[in-house]
């Protein structure tokens, strides 16, 4: 048996999240268990993919819903909220959060766009300040636990390493930002290489940055290729989740 806790969705339907094996179960609106109540479900309880979609792909307060290409794969634990566009063959990994919900002074916001064949890996957070845009190009990899905060434009064939932080910046095609780096308030031209733990800002002399070495470029392409294959693999077994 699986112990779970009841919680409420914004539309007031009730759900419960298993604390042992991660199974999610939906109650009908007529179920009057109070939020926070304990409940026990059989260990073989299953849930349809449509329920995961209802839970994890959400409207923002303005009413915008994410648009996900049918050829993309979004892990059931990832959260997409608001004006998010996910293009073809994109992989979005476990516990990623992509949230487009803040508006500008006119109540408007630009979308967060994930370009075709890109991958957003485990635990990545993508958000935008005051309705500003975030655009991620094609064949780009955002690695585990990185943060991309708009306004931000990332080009094609870019690699952003583990735990790196990007804010208010443009990173052009083919750049590589290694792990634990910070890119803040700067425009990186195409093909630049940011070493691990470096902080790049408005005062940084960009002429001191090296070009991407061949090995790093090959690594970026390999990561993109591997995650493209994962899209096909996970979509083939999604009914088994």
Q: Which residues are catalytic?
A: 102
38-41 and 2-8 strand pairing? antiparallel
Residues 152 and 216: beta-carbon distance below 8 Å: no
Distance CA 208, CA 218 (A): 22
Percent helix, percent strand, percent coil in the chain, to nearest 5: 15, 35, 50
Residues 104 and 62: beta-carbon distance below 8 Å: no
Handedness of CA 101, 104, 105, 107 (dihedral sign): negative
97-100 and 125-128 strand pairing? parallel
Output phi, psi for 116, to 5 deg.
Answer: -55, 140
Give the 3-state secondary structure of residue 141: strand
Side-chain-side CA neighbours of 147 within 13 Å: the count stands at 13
Q: How far apart are the first and last CA of the chain?
A: 19
């Amino acid at each position: 048996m699986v112990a779970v806790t009841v919680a409420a969705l914004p539309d007031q339907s009730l759900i419960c999240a298993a604390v042992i094996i991660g199974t999610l179960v939906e109650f009908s609106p007529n179920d009057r268990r109070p939020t926070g109540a304990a409940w026990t479900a059989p260990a073989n309880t299953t849930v349809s993919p449509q329920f995961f979609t209802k839970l994890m792909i959400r409207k923002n307060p303005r009413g915008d819903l994410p648009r996900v290409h049918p050829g993309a794969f979004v892990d059931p634990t990832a959260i997409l909220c608001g004006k998010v566009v996910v293009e073809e063959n994109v992989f979005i990994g476990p516990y990623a959060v992509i949230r487009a919900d803040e508006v500008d002074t006119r109540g408007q916001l630009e979308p967060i766009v994930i370009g075709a064949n890109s991958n957003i890996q485990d635990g990545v957070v993508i958000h935008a300040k005051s309705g500003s845009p975030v655009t991620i190009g094609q064949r780009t990899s955002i690695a585990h636990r990185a943060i991309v905060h708009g306004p931000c434009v990332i080009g094609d064939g870019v690699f952003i390493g583990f735990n790196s932080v990007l804010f208010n910046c443009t990173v052009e095609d083919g750049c590589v930002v290694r792990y634990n780096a910070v890119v803040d308030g700067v425009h990186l031209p195409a093909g630049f290489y940011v070493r691990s733990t470096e902080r790049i800002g408005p005062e940084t002399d960009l002429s001191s940055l090296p070009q991407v070495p061949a090995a790093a470029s090959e690594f970026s392409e390999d990561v993109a290729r591997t995650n493209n294959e994962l899209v096909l693999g996970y979509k083939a077994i999604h009914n088994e989740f």
